[in-house]
Amino acid sequence: MHSRFMIHSDACAEALYRAWATRTPLSSPFLPDECSEDDAYRIQEALVARLPGRVTGFKLGFTSPAMREQFGVEHPNYGRLFDWMAIEGESSPGPLHPPPRRAGDRRAPLARARRTV
């Protein structure tokens, strides 16, 4: 948390939840520039507590050093995957699947899952 600015994680999580539940876009940028990585993870935790279903896994982002360099990110990040995000008949890529070629992380399965909800 920054000394000159306080991020209210519960209020941010509630606004994100309402936008998700009503399918209403938020203004952009939603979070102030002063929002730190710690703030963002606190908001994520508060949002996860509001979402229905159960957490079944994690989504990792920026796992490639080249992608972190390209986007100016210091280390990989993560988010939660819920049971309602699963695509029936599909499983997550295993070690024999090639890594994605165009994305900075493994977004495609999650993006398709969001369309089905």
Whether residues 32 and 64 share a domain: the answer is: no
Co-location of 59 and 95 in the same domain:
yes
- Tell me which residue range forms the domain holding 104: 53-117
Same domain, 35 and 71: no
Question: What percent of the chain clears pLDDT 90, i.e. is strictly above it?
Answer: 53
Ramachandran region, residue 89 (left: φ > 0; alpha: ψ -120 to 50; beta: rest)? left
Query: Are residues 63 and 41 part of one domain?
Result: no
Residue 38's H or E segment, with its range, is helix 37-50
3 and 19 belong to one structural domain? yes
Number of folded domains that form the chain: 2
pLDDT given for residue 3 in this prediction: 42
pLDDT-based confidence at residue 90 (cuts at 50, 70, 90): low
Q: pTM above 0.85?
A: no
Regarding whether 81 and 117 lie in a shared domain, the answer is: yes
Residues 63 and 115 both lie in one domain: yes
The lowest-confidence range among 6-10, 19-23, 51-55, 77-81 is 6-10
